[in-house]
Structure 1
Amino acid sequence: MAVLSAMSLTLEVPDLDVGIKFYTDAGLVATVEGDVAHLRCDGQDRDSVLLLGGFPQKRLHHISLRADDLDGIAAAVPSAGGTLVAAPEGFEDNGLWVEDPNGMLIHLSEHPSDPELTAAETPFAINAPGHVVRSRRSAMLPQRQYPPAKPLRLGHILVFSPDVMGSVEFFTTALGMGLADHAQDVIAFTCATKNSDHHVVAFAKSPGVGFHHVSFQVHDPDEVGRGGRALLAKSQRGDWGFGRHTIGSNFFHYIQDPWGSWFEYFSDMDHIDDHSLWTPTNYGMEDSLASWGPEVPKDFVHNYEVDREGSFARA
């Protein structure tokens, strides 16, 4: 009984074309069927983001997770405070549909694992004192020789929760995940218990449920930086990065989407091969967001889905 990885994120949005442009500018590939946009990483056979058009405001519809032993999860959900529900209108009644104690909708399915990613032809290498690994070649090509950033896979999803540690309790008890780390009761990170990124689903404190960001892996920190700057130039919205997190250790660049939530490029995430051998840390708030990076935007952890008065309208 366990969640194995993140599969996809589904959002209700007011303007499908605007959303398609943002996510394709970020490097995803789009297929549109009526009022639904399917967005996936190039070369993958499954969606990573679904946009449902025609709604008055951006809102989290559900998250999808790959899991095994769905019968075991179904048995554990009610006693952990969740609810087994029917598939929402327009979605197949496959796998397992669950509402967590805060009303967030989760789809779990026994989808096959993604193929292993192929390493870059020239791996990222850093010359350090006493450790020279790159000789007689430049680390950097001329700018024009780099292709646009291309997300390789969806790594994790961060959602808002009115009860962060309560959400952790549900995801660990009912869905078989593990607590990786947290910062007080303000932000927490859960992982799969075997061969997992440091976090698969994370939670940030807010008055209600909502979507904060979706994060995609790219090859190396240079691509994080290049991709972030290029998407920012196209979106003309807010950003946070380039920087490095303390919790998870990954390099990051976040770009604000058309509705005030965020898209993250990441590289070099901590790996948890066996959660039973990992000791979660309760970090201080000074380490909750970054080890280093630029100043955090004032609305970086603002949940526009519950703040109707302050709905996002930045040009």
Structure 2
Amino acid sequence: MTQRSSQPVLATAQPARHPSPTVRAQALAHLIFERPDIDKAERFLLDFGLRLARRDADCLYLRGTGSAPYCYRIEKSDEARFVGFGLTLASRSDLERLAQLPGASTIEPLSTPGGGERVRLSDPSGFLVEAIHGQQPVEAMPHRAPLPFNAVDEEPRINATQRPPIEPPEIIKLGHVVLEVADYQATCAWYTEHFGFIPSDVQVLPDGSPAVTFMRLDLGDTPADHHTLAIAQGFMAAYSHSAYQVVDADAVGMGQRVLRERGWKHAWGIGRHILGSQIFDYWQDPWGDKHEHYCDGDLFTADQPTGVHEVSPEAMSQWGQRMPKSFTKPVMNPAAVRALLRNLRRSPDLTLRKLITLARMFG
């Protein structure tokens, strides 16, 4: 693959764009979580800035202000768990092609908001992927315009003040999801081969092996978010975080004020990322899962080459608080310890040396 930087060099085959993917996904449609307490989950997400789309007896759907009928689904369960996510396709023939893949479901009708049809697949790390087509958009909700900014060379705001409303920020859309996996090579290859994801930037360890891949949708000449899916080398399959776009930096800051005043737990921010350039702020839901407000992200067309960069805590942000060690610290319960030992024996991507290197870098 073409690279935007000459150093360092990837030592392994993945990630790389696929020359002829099965389909090309068009959008990240929704996330799927299981929660033992739907009411508590709803309180956090409404404070975070999502809107209620529909509530059933054992399922909750939330949306942003955009035209997507929902972007967040919570199913009632005894345990808290991230299940997977949905990807929107361009045509029904895309669904038919995916339905032919090993392990894929048949084409199924949807009763979720917006309707349509889906094919269910499981990626190499065990996450559910719902490929959907025919979902009908809903009417977008109004949201406030970005606040006019008085810059040094342009001052549009005269005889007027800045007073953003003191309320949860208006989330426009679900932007991206980040996963940790043991089987890094196979999982990256699966998404590039079957959904046409393009690696925007790759972070590598000192030996050249990839540790994090930021992947965008292939929308041709239409600009796409720097990453819709990111995959990080870990010792087990796990949800890292998801991100939600707001209108401007004041919305990010107001989100921090509101969530802090309402007693939710802060994770990291405010700052600006290096890869993707987003102004960000991260918060934890009642089960410790991280959710990010962001604005001002990079947009790439399909012809933008892949960048390769050294991984380090300093490579995570341009300014703001250094990424805290708690941000990447895994929960080491008995199930996680068993997964660690099992995957060290089984996964070709996971070695004790790699785990030690990552632990030294990120505490």
Q: Which amino acid aligns with 2:211?
A: V
SS of the counterpart of 1:166? helix
Q: Is the 8 A contact 1:210 1:306 kept in 2?
A: no
Task: State how 1:220-259 maps to structure 2 within 5 Å.
Answer: 220-259=248-287
TM-aligned CA deviation for residue 44 of structure 1? 4.2
Q: Which amino acid aligns with 2:293?
A: Y
Aligned residues: 297
1:192 aligned partner: 217
Structure 1: state its 5+ residue gaps: 311-315
Is the aligned partner of 1:47 residue 2:67?
A: no
Higher relative contact order, chain-length normalized (CA < 8 Å, sep 6+):
2
Q: Is the 8 A contact 1:208 1:306 kept in 2?
A: no
Q: Which amino acid aligns with 2:45?
A: Y
Measured at CA, do residues 122 and 104 of structure 1 come closer, stay the same or move farther in structure 2, by a change above 3 Å?
Answer: closer
Is the aligned partner of 1:98 residue 2:125?
A: no
1:295 aligned partner: 322
Task: State how 1:249-288 maps to structure 2 within 5 Å.
Answer: 249-272=277-300, 274-275=301-302, 277-286=303-312, 288=315
TM-superposition CA deviations, 1:236-266 (whole Å, max 9, x none): 3132110000010110000011111111111
Equivalent residue for 1:9, pick from 31, 34, 38: 31
Q: Is the 8 A contact 1:182 1:281 kept in 2?
A: yes
Task: State how 1:75-224 maps to structure 2 within 5 Å.
Answer: 75=100, 77-78=101-102, 83-85=103-105, 94-110=117-133, 111=135, 121=145, 123-128=147-152, 131-134=153-156, 136-137=158-159, 140-141=162-163, 145-184=165-204, 185-194=210-219, 195-224=223-252
Measured at CA, do residues 166 and 18 of structure 1 come closer, stay the same or move farther in structure 2, by a change above 3 Å?
Answer: same
TM-score, with length taken from structure 1:
0.83
Structure 2: state its 5+ residue gaps: 1-22, 205-209, 338-363
Q: Is the 8 A contact 2:65 2:143 kept in 1?
A: no
TM-aligned CA deviation for residue 67 of structure 1? 1.6
TM-superposition CA deviations, 1:197-255 (whole Å, max 9, x none): 11111112222222222211111111111112311332431321100000101100000
SS of the counterpart of 2:26? strand
Equivalent residue for 1:22, pick from 44, 48, 59: 44
Moved beyond 6 Å, runs of 4+: 90-93, 113-119
Measured at CA, do residues 73 and 87 of structure 1 come closer, stay the same or move farther in structure 2, by a change above 3 Å?
Answer: closer
Q: Which amino acid aligns with 2:173?
A: R
Is the aligned partner of 1:66 residue 2:91?
A: no
TM-score, with length taken from structure 2:
0.73
Q: Matches of 2:136 and 2:280 in 1, distance apart?
A: 28
TM-aligned CA deviation for residue 94 of structure 1? 3.0
Tell me whether 108-117 or 284-293 shows the greater mean CA deviation. Answer: 108-117
